[in-house]
Chain A
Amino acid sequence: MDAVIRTVGLRKSYGRTNALDGLDLEVTAGEIHGFLGPNGAGKSTTIRILLGLARATGGTATVFGDDPWRDAARLHRRIAYVPGDVNLWPGLSGGEAIDLLARLRGDGRSVAYRDERARLLEAFDLDPRKKGRSYSKGNRQKVALVAAFSVPADLLVLDEPTSGLDPLMEVVFQREVRRARERGAAVLLSSHILSEVEQVCDRVSIIRAGRIVDDGTLDDLRHLTRTQVSFADAGGDLPTLPGAHEVQRRDGRVHLTVDTAEVASLLPALGALGIQSLRVEPASLEELFLRHYGSQP
């Protein structure tokens, strides 16, 4: 598969602070790539370097095989970007801002663009005639999203794009992201909303203190974690089960964890116990996330 984004040992320092400290990230065409990490881990710095708005201190970054700093303007024709904190021109209406950004990318007058823009305005339920300063946070976000989705970009860089959107719009957003993937675009989706990442992302990279600490498909990541198992029984002593960890009784149920690879071998033992209402849950993304950050003070 073609790597759309590839960084190797990417470093960026501001004075003495190292915002990025050897970051390796790879995003391929036709995938939605989740980019997870707490505030200050280096997500926005990475995005800024990939967009050619900041220059790396060390390591390499390529976008479509080119240097994003040197070839920024040319690359930008293929990239659509939604910033995390959308600011609009106070004097421009939302519709004008959308058109301006499209025209800067070299589109904005084609019939295809106009149709797509009209469809998206309808889908996101956005009034294009309000002035920038009178939009609410969610509506400013929608302006940026319509601007990004209305041009046929090969790479979408979305920096926490759904903060401030209501659940209905979240659904519209996920539909549009999948649409972009279907036409072969790569999507880098930085997000704090783990359920969103779980639902739309094909692969995930978790960043901590300027490095990628884990990456792969959700199944890959889950493989390294334990599965949660709980059931109700008749009470009494805690049962002894093969491969079980952290066995405890809470709210009338027995809770335990088991290595994901060992789940199958646990099932016969559970059957022999005569249990009720068995629940088996693979690790959620939240648990994966906390596993990497839980040790932080």
Chain B
Amino acid sequence: MTGFRLLLRARWRRDAVQLTIWIAGALLLAASAVVGVRGTFPDEADRATLLATAVANPVVLLFRGLPSGTDEAAFTAFLILPFVALLAALMSTFLAVRHTRGDEDAGRAELIAATPAARTVPLSATVVHGILANIVLGALVTTTYVAIGFAASGSILMGAASALTGIAFLGVGLVAAQLAASARTANAIGVWAVLLSYLACGLGNALGTPSGDLQRMTSAPLAWVSPFGWAENTRPYDSDAAGRLIPFAGLIVVALALAFVLSGARDVGGALLPARRGRAVASVALSGPIGMVWREARSSLLGWAVGGAIVGVLSTRLASAISQIGDTIPSVQALLQSLASQGSLAQGAIEVFFTLAGVLAACAGIQTVLRARQDEAAGLAEPVRAAGVGPVRWAGAYLSVAILAVVSCLAAATAGAAVGQLTTDASQTHLIRDAAVAAAGQAIAALTLVIVATLVVVIAPRLSLPVGWALVGIATVVGLFGPLLGLSDAAVHASPFAAAPRIDGDSLDLRGGTWLAVAVVTGVALLAAAARRRELAPER
């Protein structure tokens, strides 16, 4: 047992800073939602209008929770519970992989496995570590809401639902770590599982049955396949249905048991998904730095493009679902007409979805340029630079593939939108045009962020990973969710995603497009000048 205690303490020490940031982020989100609600939707009438809009417009429900009435606390839960649970889930999958497959990749697991600590001890320590982290997160969420003055029972449910979602994905991450041959693959499996569950729940809510007064929604069965669906269906501060948390017990027990069984069935460092052998001779495509970056990035690029295509299909599919709801429910019809003055609702849906596609494209691009820094820190830049590739060409290779990543993700989204439209209502082809324009606008927005991230890689390499991802994170929160958090228009439009050109009615609304184009050109010029003077910075 001393081995277990030592390993658990080592995990706490190693993660102290990182987990503090994750948990503090979740708490900040939880508390800021209350501030946003009190500032933007102070009385019941405001909240009722927003709920009605949300229920009538399934796009909002994709990213938010389950509408459960106009009570201030229940309304806060509708806005923020999915995000807090999402943070817990991501924190937990990364934690699971970091202390299992990540340690095996780095060769540390072997050091531990050679000590008298039993074979399962590192895994048990990781399980307990992850569960404790989620309990701390849940308890602090509960404390925060009780301190704000919300009802205790609902606050306990908010905390419990978040923590249980985290623990469920801890199990998923641990299973992924047993299956995959590398931490990178295991993390990718974990993140995809989280995002697909989130999307399944959002779609389930969006396709659910609204109540007559448009203040509540009953999830469609699809939401019940997702842990996020279980969490949201507890409806904290409304019906406080703690029984909806029962499925978590099943998933958690099964996932953890599976992880232990799999870890007992394989060698340390071995994988159940076998590592494939490679080619003996490089193909023609692998002849230069661009070919090299392409080889490193191509499977992630495919993933981002698939994500873009799904978002594209949803944009036009849900746009038509909105008009169908409007045709059948009179109260929705009235609401739609009142909103139709600023372009049609279908156009609005496309805009929101393509902003999301823009976020995916920016993530794809930034992930690609950050590979430059990761390769440099891993010692992979040195042999390439010593083989006749100058600093400008080296950085340019990553940027070129990043541009390809942005363009292919948004092209996939546009193609998805066309497929979604033509398979539902082939007469509304102007929506495909709107989608293409929105995609072009978002491409400029995403490129702006990618070029800024490349500049950081060149000028301040050690900061590039946190700064690069923070750029996308902040731009997303401000641009996509700023209005719901009560930010001013000027602040929202500081995000490239919100400043991108779009179609309004039948005319092109350029908005910040010119500025974005100027930023892109200036950025490229700065980059060329800065890269020339760049020394190799291999130290971490």
Indicate if the CB atoms of B279 and A129 lie closer than 8 Å: yes
Residues of A within 8 A of B380 (CB): 87-89
**Complex Cα distance A129/B387, Å?**
22
Indicate if the CB atoms of A100 and B292 lie closer than 8 Å: yes
Indicate if the CB atoms of A55 and B535 lie closer than 8 Å: yes
Interchain nearest-CB distance for B424 vs A (Å): 39
Residues of A within 8 A of B378 (CB): 87
Given A53-B386, A79-B386, check contact A95 B278 (CB 8 Å).
yes
Indicate if the CB atoms of A73 and B281 lie closer than 8 Å: no
Main secondary structure of the interface of B (DSSP, over half): loop
Over the window 268-306 of chain B, the binary record of Cβ atoms lying under 8 Å from chain A Cβ atoms (1 yes, 0 no) is 000000011111111100111101100110000000000
| A222 at interface, CB cutoff 8 A | no
Residues of B within 8 A of A191 (CB): none
Indicate if the CB atoms of A131 and B281 lie closer than 8 Å: no
Over the window 124-135 of chain A, the binary record of Cβ atoms lying under 8 Å from chain B Cβ atoms (1 yes, 0 no) is 000011110110
Given A90-B184, A96-B286, A99-B286, check contact A104 B389 (CB 8 Å).
yes
Task: With CB as the reference atom, state the residue of chain B lying closest to A147.
Answer: B383
**Complex Cα distance A131/B385, Å?**
22
- Indicate which residue in B105, B282, B536 contacts A100 across the interface (CB closer than 8 Å): B282
Q: How many residues of B contact A (CB 8 A)?
A: 35
Residues of A within 8 A of B184 (CB): 90
| A144 at interface, CB cutoff 8 A | yes
Indicate if the CB atoms of B280 and A76 lie closer than 8 Å: no
Residues of A within 8 A of B282 (CB): 92, 95-96, 98-100, 103, 108
Over the window 384-424 of chain B, the binary record of Cβ atoms lying under 8 Å from chain A Cβ atoms (1 yes, 0 no) is 11111110010000000000000000000000000000000
Indicate if the CB atoms of B295 and A92 lie closer than 8 Å: yes
Indicate if the CB atoms of A77 and B292 lie closer than 8 Å: no
| B382 at interface, CB cutoff 8 A | yes
| A169 at interface, CB cutoff 8 A | no
Interchain nearest-CB distance for B530 vs A (Å): 14
Q: List A13-28 residues whose CB lies under 8 Å from chain B.
A: none
Q: List B40-58 residues whose CB lies under 8 Å from chain A.
A: none
Indicate if the CB atoms of B277 and A81 lie closer than 8 Å: no
Interchain nearest-CB distance for B287 vs A (Å): 4
Over the window 51-89 of chain A, the binary record of Cβ atoms lying under 8 Å from chain B Cβ atoms (1 yes, 0 no) is 111110000000000000000111011010101011111
| B379 at interface, CB cutoff 8 A | yes
Task: With CB as the reference atom, state the residue of chain A lying closest to B297.
Answer: A91
**Complex Cα distance A86/B184, Å?**
20
Indicate if the CB atoms of A76 and B387 lie closer than 8 Å: yes
Interchain nearest-CB distance for B280 vs A (Å): 4
Task: With CB as the reference atom, state the residue of chain B lying closest to A117.
Answer: B281
Indicate if the CB atoms of A95 and B295 lie closer than 8 Å: no
- Indicate which residue in A48, A51, A76, A95 contacts B279 across the interface (CB closer than 8 Å): A95
Q: List A115-151 residues whose CB lies under 8 Å from chain B.
A: 128-131, 133-134, 144, 147
Given A53-B382, A95-B278, check contact A77 B288 (CB 8 Å).
no
| B219 at interface, CB cutoff 8 A | no
| B76 at interface, CB cutoff 8 A | no
Q: How many residues of A contact B (CB 8 A)?
A: 44
Indicate if the CB atoms of B287 and A53 lie closer than 8 Å: no
Residues of B within 8 A of A157 (CB): 386
Q: List B46-78 residues whose CB lies under 8 Å from chain A.
A: none
Task: With CB as the reference atom, state the residue of chain B lying closest to A75.
Answer: B388
Residues of A within 8 A of B384 (CB): 101, 104
Residues of B within 8 A of A190 (CB): none
**Complex Cα distance A72/B392, Å?**
12
| A216 at interface, CB cutoff 8 A | no
Residues of B within 8 A of A51 (CB): 385-386
Indicate if the CB atoms of A54 and B536 lie closer than 8 Å: yes
Residues of B within 8 A of A77 (CB): 388
| B448 at interface, CB cutoff 8 A | no
Indicate if the CB atoms of B387 and A93 lie closer than 8 Å: no
**Complex Cα distance A76/B292, Å?**
18
| B182 at interface, CB cutoff 8 A | yes
Residues of B within 8 A of A89 (CB): 292, 295-296, 380
| A243 at interface, CB cutoff 8 A | no
Indicate if the CB atoms of B386 and A91 lie closer than 8 Å: no
| Most chain A CB within a 10 A radius of its CB, from B182, B282, B389 | B282
Residues of B within 8 A of A95 (CB): 278-282
**Complex Cα distance A131/B276, Å?**
8
Task: With CB as the reference atom, state the residue of chain A lying closest to B392.
Answer: A73
| A253 at interface, CB cutoff 8 A | no
**Complex Cα distance A74/B386, Å?**
11
Indicate if the CB atoms of A53 and B389 lie closer than 8 Å: no
Indicate if the CB atoms of B286 and A100 lie closer than 8 Å: yes
Q: List B364-385 residues whose CB lies under 8 Å from chain A.
A: 378-380, 382-385
Interchain nearest-CB distance for B536 vs A (Å): 4
Q: List A199-249 residues whose CB lies under 8 Å from chain B.
A: none
Indicate if the CB atoms of A103 and B388 lie closer than 8 Å: no
Task: With CB as the reference atom, state the residue of chain B lying closest to A54.
Answer: B535
Given A55-B535, A87-B380, check contact A93 B385 (CB 8 Å).
no
Task: With CB as the reference atom, state the residue of chain A lying closest to B287.
Answer: A103
Task: With CB as the reference atom, state the residue of chain B lying closest to A55.
Answer: B535
**Complex Cα distance A90/B105, Å?**
11
| A178 at interface, CB cutoff 8 A | no
| A181 at interface, CB cutoff 8 A | no
List 7 additional A-B contacts (Cβ < 8 Å) besides A81-B386, A87-B378, A92-B286.
A53-B535, A89-B292, A92-B282, A96-B279, A100-B291, A101-B387, A108-B282
What are the 3 tightest A-B residue pairs by CB atom distance, in nearest-first order? A93-B278, A99-B282, A76-B388
- Can you list 28 residue pairs at the A/B interface with Cβ under 8 Å? A51-B386, A53-B382, A53-B385, A53-B535, A73-B393, A74-B388, A76-B389, A81-B382, A86-B379, A88-B380, A90-B184, A93-B277, A95-B278, A95-B282, A96-B286, A99-B281, A100-B291, A101-B383, A103-B282, A103-B286, A104-B387, A104-B388, A108-B282, A130-B278, A133-B105, A133-B275, A134-B275, A144-B383
